Amino acid sequence: MNLPDPPDLHRLRAAQGWLELGLPREAAEELAQMGDVARDHPAALELGWATAAAQAQWNQAYALGDRLIQRDPTLVSAWIHRAYAARRMTGGGLERALAALLPAASHFPEEPMVAYNLACYLIRLGRIEEGWRWYAESEVRGDPVEMRQQALKDEDLMEVWERIRELG
């Protein structure tokens, strides 16, 4: 998918720069000045999600993640972002995040971060064995050493840290 045309492309790049500088409000202002068509581009939606998340505007982040899936369901990041926001939004939670991400498991059977995030949600919900199976699947899908390093820093997986350490 082609990037938006100037001047919307310049606004998109400026928004990225503001976000990289840790200024999400300024990034949001740049995005708001883009035309409607450009603002609905997957690159702008992705950046909009990051901007909303950086400001803990989880309802907006959820809506942007949902729109991104509608625009391009092949972007695994969109599914992960939407679930992340679903966990934190008003009326959200772990069950809602799990429901938002579960369809991605069949859409992206090789993606380790889908399995990893499913493990996080399930383990936090107390569904330890089911979560453990998803964690193990994340190691099959990704680099086991990297997955273990990440998991041993992730408090969502604290319940299975000892089991992860036993893996090597």
Residue 104 in any domain: the answer is: no
Residues 6+ apart with CB under 8 A from 114: 76, 79, 80, 101, 104, 105, 108
Determine, yes or no, domain membership for 103: no
- Among 64, 93, 122, the domain-final residue is 93
The pLDDT score that the predictor gives to residue 168 is 84
Tally of domains in the chain: 2
User: How many angstroms separate the Cα of 140 from the Cα of each of 35, 54, 94, 103, 131?
Assistant: 43, 31, 24, 19, 14
Q: What is the pTM of this model?
A: 0.93
Q: Quick one: 73 and 119 in the same domain?
A: no
* Domain shared by 154 and 77, yes or no: no
143 within domain boundaries: yes
Is residue 98 in a domain? Answer: no
Task: State which residues form the domain around 155.
Answer: 109-168
| Residue 14 confidence (pLDDT) | 97
State which residues of the chain have pLDDT below 70.
none
Report if residue 102 sits inside a domain.
no
Domain assignment present for residue 69? The answer is yes
Same domain, 75 and 11: yes
- pLDDT for the residue numbered 165: 97
Shared-domain flag, residues 76 and 47: yes
Do 120 and 81 lie in one domain? The reply is no
User: So what's the pLDDT on residue 4?
Assistant: 83
Mapping DSSP to helix (H, G, I), strand (E, B) and coil, where does residue 160 land? helix
Same domain, 113 and 30: no
